[in-house]
Amino acid sequence: MNKDELNAVKKEFERYRLMIEAYMAESAGKRAAGVPPKLFESMEYSLGAGGKRLRPVLCLAAAERCGLAAEAALPMALGLEMLHTATLIHDDLPCMDDDDMRRGKPSNHALFGETMAVLAGDALLAQSLSYPMTELKGIAAANILHAMAIFAQAIGPAGVCGGQVLDMDAEGGKEEADYVRRIAALKTGALIQAAVLAGAALGSDDAQLLKKYGDYALHLGSAFQIVDDILDVTSTAEELGKTPGKDSEQGKLTHVTVYGMDRAREMAEKESLEAKAALADILSSGDFLMQLPDYLVHRSF
């Protein structure tokens, strides 16, 4: 990726990210209605703590490329970021990964206590579903229903929740080939795939088109998780925004511990190529979604 391509990806990513940040601020009053102030403070603390906003960016980009204005998909994009934030709050809890830092700030439970952190995560999860259902406007009901079904399935036992269980049960998977790949596909990949597919489904009901976007997201999510595993080994706390080396310290299976650093990097490159191949016949090589896999993979090496 040359300098001009890199700058173009960063510019487009920032355009979407700023749209999301503005919408989060604009919608805060509506989202706070009826919520106990302390609970909403805890929810907003983690939701507003920063981060790449990758999942909502993917949702908006896919929606635009499938014929829907990005602005119309903002409630769905925010729902995805709410759910992602909920998983991070719960992931940091002492009973899970036990991390007191997230995105360079104190984790939710470190600031608000474990009980409030559990409830804030639960509340964000519930609102991630209810908010898009009530706020998506000017879109065919069938498209909204399809997008919400994609999202809801990604949250559940065959998605994020199932992936977290597998991640915590490293001993149970040591004898299973590609167990770490299955963890990544559920814990990280399911929500990334849902972000792309839900955005696309809001704009289109073309099954063949949605299949292409789903394949793209599957490989993108895999590449993203492999690079995350690499960064956990090679980055500092300041660069990561969380405690590095936690996976190794807790004996977790990662792409680095299972395949080694060099092989993990090769796998990330391969997944990036396969992501781009999935959309190569419908998007130009200079399109944001075509350049994003390389941008995400090479953020570490």
Q: What is the pTM of this model?
A: 0.91
User: Per residue in 206-257, pLDDT tens?
Assistant: 999 999 999 999 999 999 999 988 988 876 656 555 565 555 566 678 888 8
Report d(CA 139, CA 82) in Å as an integer.
Answer: 21
User: Per residue in 263-297, pLDDT tens?
Assistant: 999 999 999 999 999 999 999 999 999 999 999 88
User: Per residue in 27-67, pLDDT tens?
Assistant: 999 999 999 999 999 999 999 998 899 999 999 999 999 99
Cβ neighbours around 251 below 10 Å, total? 9
Paired strand residues for 105: 102
Cα–Cα distances in angstroms (integers) from residue 279 to residues 200, 203, 209, 272, 286, in the given order: 13, 16, 9, 12, 12
